[in-house]
Structure 1
Amino acid sequence: MPLHLVSPFDREVEAPPGDNRRGTISTRHWRQPLRDICFILIKAGAYLGSIYLAVLGLPLLFFLLLAGGDLGLFFMHLGNLAAHYLAADHARQAGFINELKLGLFGVATLIVIWRLPRFLDDVSAALAPRKEVS
């Protein structure tokens, strides 16, 4: 016996002819927009997640380029930055954090602007009505 599962969302409530009850709801009217919204939310989450990872990876790339690819020099620069940060007073630490946040936010904004046309093209192409080939 094959397994055939039909969920309540897969079957449509049908009223007999002549029955004009107001309680019958067709699921076709709301399922497609709900699918589209879920698809857009998933794609937007992946888009923003990739931007977030790219922005967090840029300081690492900067310090690796500064060190010439040598991990010993990389950790020396990172240790120097950490020592100066810990030696600074609270006002300078707060100023550094604010400048860092502003810089990373600016870089994230530039990456979003750079990648937004491709994201919109991908979403619009995926949501475009498909022509049935017969």
Structure 2
Amino acid sequence: MPGQSDTLFDQYLTLDDPYQRKTDKARLPWRMCMEQSCEVFLLASGFAFSTVMITLGIPLFFFLAISGWDLGGLFAHLDNLSSRYLEADAVRRLTFSSDLKWVFFTATALIAAIRFPAFFKRIVMNFPAGGGDE
């Protein structure tokens, strides 16, 4: 189960016998809050990273598809695109770069919106409403 561990940090000293360590299954509220926020941060950063990687993989998939799944054709298409980009004047380069940024951010937002319900469900399933490890 996520967030469950029995380490030295999970133990506390009793007042009756200060040298006897006991495991505390009901963690301190601040400790549980820190653990859960770190886990949410890790899940969110994994979600963001994988969303960006999916977005960057879509153009590769597109170029491979139009080249007939041939790497020679892929590099021919990329060579054609790069040579036309280098021959263009500054205004056309700026317009192309701007359009490319908007397409990338829009695609990233769209993919994130599609994937967000599953991510939210994973967060809700890992952290029940009552909190704690009952």
- Compute the TM-score of the two structures, normalised by the length of structure 2: 0.78
Q: Which has the larger radius of gyration?
A: 1
Compute the RMSD of aligned alpha carbons. 2.2
C-alpha distance in structure 1 between counterparts of 2:71 and 2:116, whole Å:
34
Residue identity opposite 1:97 in structure 2: S
Map of 1:98 onto structure 2? 98
Q: How does 1:1-134 map to 2 (within 5 A)?
A: 6-7=8-9, 10-11=11-12, 28-128=28-128, 129=131, 132=134
C-alpha distance in structure 2 between counterparts of 1:59 and 1:120, whole Å:
27
Q: Which has the higher contact order (CA 8 A, sep 6+)?
A: 2
Name the SS for the 2:97 alignment partner. helix
> Comparing both structures, which one devotes a greater share of its residues to strand?
2
Residue identity opposite 2:12 in structure 1: R
Number of residue pairs aligned between Structure 1 and Structure 2: 116
Name the SS for the 1:11 alignment partner. strand
- Compute the TM-score of the two structures, normalised by the length of structure 1: 0.78
Name the SS for the 1:69 alignment partner. coil
C-alpha distance in structure 2 between counterparts of 1:64 and 1:87, whole Å:
24
Unaligned runs of 5+ residues in structure 2 are 1-6, 17-26
CA deviation after TM superposition for structure 1 residue 15, in Å: 7.4
Percent identity reads 31
C-alpha distance in structure 1 between counterparts of 2:83 and 2:110, whole Å:
31
Map of 2:22 onto structure 1? none
Runs of 4+ that moved beyond 6 A? none
C-alpha distance in structure 2 between counterparts of 1:123 and 1:85, whole Å:
44
Residue identity opposite 2:8 in structure 1: V
CA deviation after TM superposition for structure 1 residue 76, in Å: 0.5
Residue identity opposite 2:47 in structure 1: Y
Residue identity opposite 1:11 in structure 2: Y
Unaligned runs of 5+ residues in structure 1 are 17-26
